[in-house]
Amino acid sequence: MPETTKRPMREHPLSGDDITQWSATRLADAIARGEISSRDVVQQHISTLQRFKALNAIAKDRFDAALRDADEADERIADAKVTNTTSDTALPPLLGVPFTVKEFIAVKGMPNTAGFPHRRHQLSTSDAPAVQRLRDAGGIPLGVTNSAGPIFWMETYNPLYGRVSNPYDLSRTAGGSSGGDGAAVACGGSPLSLGSDLGGSLRIPAFFNGVFAHLPSVGLVPNTGHFPMAYGEARRNLYLGPVTRKSEDLYPLLKILAGPDGFDPHARVMPLHNPADVSLTGLPVILAVDSTITKPGIELETARYLAARTLEARGAIVTEAPLPSLRWAIAQALASFSSTLDIAGTVADIIGTHPEQSPGLVVSSSTRP
């Protein structure tokens, strides 16, 4: 359990120019050019996560395996140099770059409990498709992150792993439910993380920890391998998406993650255009007022208005509108949420009679061959 005394940690994330502040794309480029080894990159991120262990951002690490993966990446790059095949198209786009994954999402050999005690001794036997795509792109998983469980929430406490603290102040929350993702990226422990979102679980931790996240459009990134799983049409509202320390990584990562997998019934091929080419001219933007139960602080309100002015300067049409009904949106969301999870499937999983298998199936670590 991390200490709860107030201790700012701001100096590390925002000072200097060490590689634990670089974007994933910048790291990938430097590794491919031989300017730095993947082992050095992975080791420095591991050291940072160990330094900030009090955050409790990591539920289970695979640091030794990650260093072996890094050595393999460096060997692959060395071989490519010998054969003159180190071009952008010859090497995977994330070769040698570390990443983390929300514990709710299956990573082979890692726990996938979502905070349910009956799964504490079980390990995933395969990667979720989104994780596999990051691996295929050359990424190296460092481990799985602590997440709110056993049910999604706006802060992160997990009965199996404890509480996640904010990197800037241990007495404050990292948000949730992907709180470990936000904290790991914010402290410099990972350039990117794969999280999930049903009602803010990517966006809230990104906001609380000063990093970036993207909620993909319905069907863009398959959510296969996530536990617990929403069912029926509600599955459309369960999203997998990236958390990054730099906004420049969001678009390249979405290109890697996007596309159907053959299991998620809503996943499909969708056009994905470079946001740099998008015109904001004429885009309607609503700036909600009178929409919160408690009055936002002056710093938050100032930031919101500055963001609106920036969009307006780029051609967007910004309009203020009172939306008092939003005050009770959280209550409506919670009422709706209670019917979105596959409760029957989860109960069947608890008693060991789940009727079907799918990617991300887990096996007990005490009964593995």
The C-alpha torsion from 20 through 21 and 26 to 28, rounded to 10°, is: 20
Judge whether 49 and 58 are in contact, CB under 8 Å.
yes
Which residue out of 38, 165, 177, 178 is catalytically annotated? 177
To the query of whether residue 126 is one of the catalytic residues in this protein, the response is no
The C-alpha torsion from 315 through 320 and 325 to 327, rounded to 10°, is: 90
User: Cβ atoms within 10 A of the Cβ of 141, count?
Assistant: 25
To the query of whether residue 81 is one of the catalytic residues in this protein, the response is no
To the query of whether residue 201 is one of the catalytic residues in this protein, the response is yes
Which residue out of 23, 38, 60, 102 is catalytically annotated? 102
- What the block records as the tokens of 183 is 């904290």
Which residue out of 37, 124, 178, 201 is catalytically annotated? 201
Q: Which runs of consecutive H residues, i.e. helices, occur in the chain? A: 11-14, 24-32, 38-51, 63-82, 129-136, 179-186, 203-209, 250-257, 298-313, 329-337, 343-351
Helices (H) and strands (E) in the chain, counts: 11, 14
| Short-list 57, 53, 142, CA closest to 100 | 142
At 25 the three-state DSSP class reads helix
| Short-list 130, 138, 136, 50, CA closest to 97 | 138
CA distance 148 to 164: 9
Residues 6+ apart with CB under 8 A from 287: 304, 305, 308, 318, 319, 320, 321
CA distance 345 to 354: 6
Cite the active site residues.
Answer: 102, 177, 201
